[in-house]
Amino acid sequence: MHITPSPKRLLGVTLLIGSLGLGSFGLVGPAPAALPTADAAGTPLPSLAPMLERVTPAVVNIHSKQVQRVRNPLADDPFLRHFFGIPDMPQERVQQSLGSGVIVDAESGLVLTNNHVIEGADDISVTLADGRTLEAELVGSDPDTDVALVRVNADNLTALPLADTKLLRVGDFVVAVGNPFGLGQTVTSGIVSALGRNGLRGLGYQNFIQTDASINPGNSGGALVNLRGELVGINSAIFSPSGGNIGIGFAIPASLAREVMRQLLAYGEVRRGSLGVVAQDITPELASALALGRQPRGALVARVDPGSPAAQAGVRVGDVITQLEDQPVLDRAAVHNIEGLLPVGKPIRIAVNRDGKTLNLKAVLKARPKELVGDDLDPRLGGAVFAEIPERLRQNGITGVVVSKVESGSRAELNGMRAGDVVTGIGRRKLDGLSSLQSLADATPREMVLQVVRGRRSGVLVMR
């Protein structure tokens, strides 16, 4: 049985899973200056210790274990298997990782952490600050926001109150608490460096708090708190070319984690809303044609789905969306990111530029369809089921829909379609998601040619 660590890196952004083995690394740094214990008048020096005495019991270590069955390639040769005595059965390999979590409901034993800490785990255990180790039950997870919720059954738990992150400002002092490198509970301090960070490729829906508080592998799922000891964020990732801390860390806002937790408890999943628009980035040529100035900001509306929230709000093709709720829209990715972070049924404000004038519109987000059945779209797609692509693929620039299922012997299978295919377009028109699949299928009465990505290859399928 072999144990391997599970580091995860995405284009310079390191998800903070710590491995069990410390290996041979040195903790090297400048020697701390000696501090006096009190001033001349005997007044104690300022300290974070009283606040941390309330916070640290609510921060836990999370240990996850995944058992993988691995077949020895030599076992495929009967001669080698007989000669070397290799058993003709898969061997087990155990992959273990360490992370952190935060107790947010002591009575119910609810613990928030990152999805990537527990993803694929067969067993999850939680170690409390007082040394108790408990088996944990996965309540649910949301890979697109990297939030997961687990439950433990224990008495005398301590929970952290969640802060109103709308009040958080750049420059506020914050403290990170977690389990870096499996060393045990560690506290670091810093400030809020930026708010509303997004655009980190491969990390799904994003609205990160950026901080310079030292965050390292193993801190994933740990607490970022303000000086009142309130939870302002869940530590999630660091930006680092080398994998170590360079003073750029990211945390999921507590308000977003609260909404994900609410939906996981209510539905077992996160239901996301959609405005029903397809937007595109504004090129210099478009900016000149629309008289948007030298530094255009916003997303140009290329299509409005009939009956969608955007259509009902009065959004038109050619409008430039400049703001959703209180968040500025800089490009088409921002539209998708913001609408995916807002709860279904929430009324939102939309600011658009139309013919040089700013209009303020209101819409109510509707739930996105989870999947579409090919038989309901077109007989040539019969037997296939389509779903939205994972948000992490979208952040890497891939748009379209994924084929989640193909029935054996169906028309879709006979046409060459396979489960796992990513359909990026129909004919010469690109797909943006399930809604555009519906409209493009309706507009394709004759030959249906699908643009498909399968693994690392791309090509076309002619559906007959």
Residues annotated as catalytic are 116, 146, 220
Say how far apart CA 413 and CA 324 lie, in whole Å.
41
Place of tokens 């997004």: 198
Distances (CA, A) of 67 to 24, 64, 87, 95: 26, 10, 19, 6
Percentage helix, strand, coil for the chain under 3-state DSSP, each rounded to 5:
20, 40, 40
Q: 406 — alpha (psi -120 to 50), left (phi > 0) or beta?
A: beta
Contacts with 312 (C-beta within 8 Å, 6 or more apart), sequence order: 363
Contacts with 75 (C-beta within 8 Å, 6 or more apart), sequence order: 81, 86, 87, 88, 89
Give 327-334's long-range contacts (Cβ < 8 A, gap of 24+).
Answer: 327/196, 328/297, 329/297, 329/298, 329/299, 330/297, 330/298, 331/281, 331/282, 331/298, 331/299, 332/279, 332/280, 332/281, 332/299, 332/300, 333/198, 333/199, 333/395, 334/198, 334/299
- Where are the alpha helices (H) located in 342-418, listed in sequence order? 374-377, 391-395, 411-414
Query: What number of H helices and E strands is found in the chain?
Result: 11, 31
Q: Where are the beta strands (DSSP E) in 340-409?
A: 347-354, 357-364, 366-367, 371-373, 384-388, 401-406
Place of tokens 């109103």: 164
Here the tokens at position 220 are 């994933």
Q: 178 — alpha (psi -120 to 50), left (phi > 0) or beta?
A: beta
User: What 3-state class would DSSP assign to 84?
Assistant: helix
User: What 3-state class would DSSP assign to 393?
Assistant: helix
Say how far apart CA 234 and CA 323 lie, in whole Å.
26
